Amino acid sequence: MRLTVEMRFRGPVRIGTGGFGMEGSGLILHSDTLFSALYIAWLRLYGGPVPKMRVSSAFPRAGGVVYYPRPQLPIPGLTPDDALAFGKSLKALRWVAEPSFFRWIRGAAFRAEDVHAMLKAEEVLDKQAAVRDRPRAAVDRFGAGTNLYWVGETFFADGDGLTFFAEVPDGEADRFCRAVEWLGDEGIGGRRSSGYGAFEPRFSASWPFEAATAGEAAGGSAGNAAGYVLLSLYGPNADERRRVVALLQAYHLVERTGWTESVGGQPGLRHRRVVMVAEGSVLREPVEGGIVDVAPDGFPHPVYRYGKAFLVGASASDGGAGDAGAE
C-alpha cells in the first residue's frame, strides 16, 4: 500500500546537520533517520520483526505544497538568454515546489515565466519555515558555573511541516500508521526530552507520482524513463557497489553519522560514518539499495542504517542549462 504522510509539528523540531556543535537545523529529514525512528517505534510497539517497507525522505511543506530537492538534471528547454538572466538565482536554488518539480522531471520545457514562478515559490518556503539558533545555558551541578551554548531548531507555520511517502505491505498498513502516531507522540530528531519533534500525522492514499511519469514512479521500473531521480538517500548494496560508477548519472554525496539507540538499554554511542548518495541525484537505471550495519566496534548488536532507494522516473528532456555531475 502506498501512503502519503504529513507531519504537522506541535513546536520546534531539531534536524541535525552534522558538525561538532548543536548549531544549525535542517529542512529535510533524511530517509535513514526516518527509517531508524520507525524501526525503533515498531520494536517498542510490536517487538518485531519489522516488515519490508520503503520510505522516502521527509520534505518541507509550505502552504500545502511539498518542496523537493533540486533534481541533478539540466533544466529542460532553458534558453541561453534565460540561463544568463537567471544564472545566480538558479545556482542558489535548493528547493523546487511540486508543480515545477514534476514539470522538470517530465522534461517539459521551461520558459522564462516558468523559471520565475519556480524561484518565487522557493521564497514562500523561506517565509513559512524558519531555522534559528536558540541560546541555552548548561549549569555545573557542583560549582554552579554556567556555560552558554546554542541549539538549532526548525519552525514551521501552522498546518505546514514535513511530508514523506511510504510503501508498506497491505496487511501492515494499520500497524504502520499506529507506529507513526506513536512516533509523533514521542517526537523525532534531536532534543526530544526537551519537547522537540512532536507532531500530528495525517495519512492519505493519494500518490502524486503516478501523474508525473509514464511508468511506475517509485520503487521499481519507470518504463522508458531517461533517468531515475532519488527521493531518498541511497546506499548501494553489495552487487550495486561493484558497478556504482556506471549507475550514477549526476549526483552529490553526503556523509551520515549519528547516535545509536537501543530498545535493550544500551548506551547511546556515535555510530560509524557512512557516505550515501543524496536526494535529487540521478541514476541511469533502477536500483534497490541496501541496509548497512554501522554499529561501533564492540557494540552488542547490529545498528542498521537505511539506504534503500526511493526513485521517480525522469523523462527525456530537450536539454538546456543546468548542472549535472559529482559534488
Q: Domain-by-domain residue ranges, the chain?
A: 2-314
What sign results for the dihedral spanned by CA atoms 175, 181, 185, 191?
positive
- Predicted local distance difference test score (pLDDT) of residue 200: 93
- Predicted local distance difference test score (pLDDT) of residue 233: 95
d(CA 138, CA 149): 8
Query: For the chain, how many residues are written?
Result: 327
How wide is the angle at C-alpha 101 spanned by C-alphas 306 and 234, nearest 5°?
Answer: 15
Confidence label for 171 from pLDDT (cuts 50, 70 and 90): very high
Instruction: Judge if pTM exceeds 0.85.
Output: no
Element (H, E) at 40: helix 31-46
Cβ proximity of 38 and 56 under 8 Å: no
Region of poorest pLDDT, from 118-122, 192-196, 288-292, 304-308: 192-196
User: To which residue does cell 518542496 refer?
Assistant: 67
**pLDDT tens per residue, range 249-287:** 999 999 887 776 666 656 666 677 889 999 999 999 999
3-class secondary structure, 250: strand
* 21, pLDDT greater than 50: no
Cell numbers describing residue 121: 515559490
Cβ proximity of 251 and 71 under 8 Å: no
d(CA 147, CA 131): 23
Cβ proximity of 53 and 82 under 8 Å: no
Confidence label for 219 from pLDDT (cuts 50, 70 and 90): very low
